[in-house]
């Protein structure tokens, strides 16, 4: 068996090393991606309650009135 290991080409040692490095990189990458998914799925209720948006109804109404009551200029096509 030891004589068989001596006959292995150098390509297979390099190939095995590259596979090992690639698999370690893939495992680290997938672990990071799935960790980000779990972090994104968690909702902090205290943060949501503290940062509820306050809407200025007067400004919102004036913007709505400006958009809906805008005078339409007809296009004169000859």
pLDDT tens digits for range 10-58 = 888 899 999 999 999 999 999 999 999 888 888 777 777 776 677 788 9
At residue 74 the predicted structure's pLDDT band, cuts being 50, 70 and 90, is: confident
Cα separation, 29 vs 21, in Å, equals 12
């Amino acid at each position: 068996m030891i004589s068989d290991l001596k006959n292995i080409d150098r390509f297979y040692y390099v190939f095995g090393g590259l596979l090992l490095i690639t698999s370690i990189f893939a495992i680290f990458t997938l672990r990071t991606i799935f960790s980000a998914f779990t972090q994104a799925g968690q909702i902090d209720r205290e943060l949501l309650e503290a940062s509820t948006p306050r809407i200025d109804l007067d400004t919102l109404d004036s913007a709505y009135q400006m958009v809906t009551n805008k005078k339409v200029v007809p296009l004169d096509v000859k």
